[in-house]
Amino acid sequence: MSVGGAVTFPTVLLHQLKANDSSIQLYFDTASWIGAIHGLAGLPSILMPTIMQWQGRKNAFIAACLISITGWILTYTAKTSTALLISESFHGLGNNCIYAVTCLSMTEMIAPRYRDAFIQMYFAAEFIMMALTGLMVQFIHWKTISIIMCVPMILALLTACQWPESPYWLAYKGEFAKCEQAFLLLRGTETNSKKELEELIHAQKERVSEAKTTNTKSLNKFWNKIASADFYVPCVHIFVLEYLVYGTGCIVIVIYSIELIQKATSNENIVFLSSFIVNIIIFLGSVLSIVINKYLNKKTVLLSSILGATGSLVSASVVSYLQSIGTISEKSLVCLFCLVIYLISISLGIMPLAYPIASALIPVKHRGIGGMLYVTNTCVLHTLTLKLSPYLFLYINLWGTFLVFAANGICCGLIIWKFIPETKGRTLQEIEDFYTYGNFIARNLEKINENLVPMILND
């Protein structure tokens, strides 16, 4: 919830600091950095996946929580625009660290049949806080909001201290006994859970055995890793999914919702609650998406979402252009209607599904460097999108910006439809096998080491 608040907190600052009675004044360039600095400041979080591979998921999450808490404390004590930019930098770094650790950890710790629903519930909680922050901007001072946002992160920190470690990480480190114990604690002793555990340990034992028999220099080993299809193919797919979120304007509409709706309608009465309306639509859509994904494949839902989003963007572009030449009144709500359809479309598929799918695609053995690329993509795309968007609004107008977003959506949709596999109900090992062998395979578990004896958990 604190992460969701940090995402829309720039909207709070941009709105309240532009008031005439504000003690801190913002200029155009500084204001654009308030929204964009999250991505740039998040670049050091590329080290987080390496820390996760080195120290485990639990310790990495605790470190990310501490960074985020520091950001909220700095926000509360800020008295200048520079101090606010520094605090926003901590928000960006903390959020990117938490995204990386949380998404990757949830894919490892939760059973495949529940994984998607739980990750979508995580994003739904984030979206509801984004919506509430959009409402609070009208009634609560930004310093008070910073204290409110600090509370969920403190609770998350205390909860994380009680976590078990990820069984996938323990298997990666060769600690198979601890892996079994953690896996059974998290998943129980159902047949599917036992099968997944056996496949996991079998695959990791094969990897450890191959590593011992291969005497390769570090540089050659690194080159062989990044040149292997089971590394660069999922990395390309992950970039496409991440670019889909930013390239179609999903984050832009959240951060610059007030400015966009003001430009699209010139209606001050609607602008007043625009940020809240935007985020509540996204929240409701993400909750509905959990139900839809129970019955449909994720790719089907995602592609349908892309189709709806691109269609509404093209429509909004046409309407906005007609408004700019005077054919349609500037106060017409037709463009707003198109944006509402766009919001519904992205909230049902693109926003709740793109990142969960991307998180599941990274093979466990590549989650160090692969995770670094995952975080780097997010940071760079976040910065470029939010930094450039105000200039796009200014130089190619609203209709041109919508057209660019639509074109990005079409390109990403075609790649997803043609190349990215369906991950619903698949274990991480099955997804890794897809990229290693080119298809999903059934492992011969009868050849697993006979010394693998299930542990009995004592109360």
- pLDDT the model gives residue 316: 92
Residue 2 clears pLDDT 90, i.e. is over it: no
At which residue do the structure tokens 């991480």 appear?
428
Mean pLDDT of 21-47: 73
Give the integer Cα–Cα distance in Å for 110 and 187: 7
Residue 219 clears pLDDT 70, i.e. is over it: no
Structure tokens that stand for 214 in this block: 């291969």
Q: Are 265 and 290 in contact, with CB atoms under 8 Å apart?
A: no
317: enclosing H helix or E strand: helix 298-324
Q: For 368-397, what is each residue's pLDDT tens digit?
A: 787 788 888 888 888 888 888 888 888 898
Give the integer Cα–Cα distance in Å for 93 and 38: 7
Give the integer Cα–Cα distance in Å for 108 and 330: 50
- pLDDT the model gives residue 275: 65
**What does pLDDT average to over the chain?**
82
308 or 227, which is more confident: 308
**Distance of alpha carbon 147 from the chain centroid:** 24
Residue 20 clears pLDDT 50, i.e. is over it: yes
Q: Is the pTM higher than 0.85?
A: no
**% of the chain at pLDDT higher than 90:** 20
- pLDDT the model gives residue 246: 93
- pLDDT the model gives residue 21: 64
For the chain, give the number of residues. 459
Q: What are phi and psi of 45, to 5 degrees?
A: -70, -5
Beta-sheet strands, E only, within 110-211: none
Domains of the chain in sequence order? 2-169+224-437 (1.20.1250.20)
- pLDDT the model gives residue 272: 58
Q: Which of 29-33, 40-44, 144-148 has the lowest mean pLDDT?
A: 29-33
Q: Are 62 and 10 in contact, with CB atoms under 8 Å apart?
A: no
DSSP string covering 131-142: HHHHHHTTTS-H
- pLDDT the model gives residue 401: 93
At which residue do the structure tokens 């050091």 appear?
44
Give the integer Cα–Cα distance in Å for 265 and 340: 13
The residues, ordered by sequence, that sit 6+ positions from 19 with a Cβ below 8 Å of its Cβ are none
Give the integer Cα–Cα distance in Å for 283 and 139: 21
- pLDDT the model gives residue 214: 59
- pLDDT the model gives residue 66: 93
Give the integer Cα–Cα distance in Å for 178 and 55: 15
- pLDDT the model gives residue 173: 85
Give the integer Cα–Cα distance in Å for 74 and 51: 25
Q: For 389-406, what is each residue's pLDDT tens digit?
A: 888 888 898 899 999 999
Structure tokens that stand for 55 in this block: 């120290």
Note the helical H segments in 325-456.
334-345, 351-361, 369-395, 397-419, 428-437
Q: Which of 119-133, 146-160, 310-324 has the lowest mean pLDDT?
A: 119-133
Q: Which of 32-46, 187-201, 316-330, 435-449 has the lowest mean pLDDT?
A: 435-449
Q: Which of 31-35, 220-224, 267-271 has the lowest mean pLDDT?
A: 267-271
453: enclosing H helix or E strand: none
315 or 214, which is more confident: 315
Mean pLDDT of 208-212: 66
Mean pLDDT of 123-131: 79
Mean pLDDT of 264-289: 73
The letter for the amino acid at 196 is E
Q: For 286-297, what is each residue's pLDDT tens digit?
A: 889 888 988 889
Residue 453 clears pLDDT 60, i.e. is over it: no
Q: Which of 62-71, 98-107, 434-443 has the lowest mean pLDDT?
A: 434-443
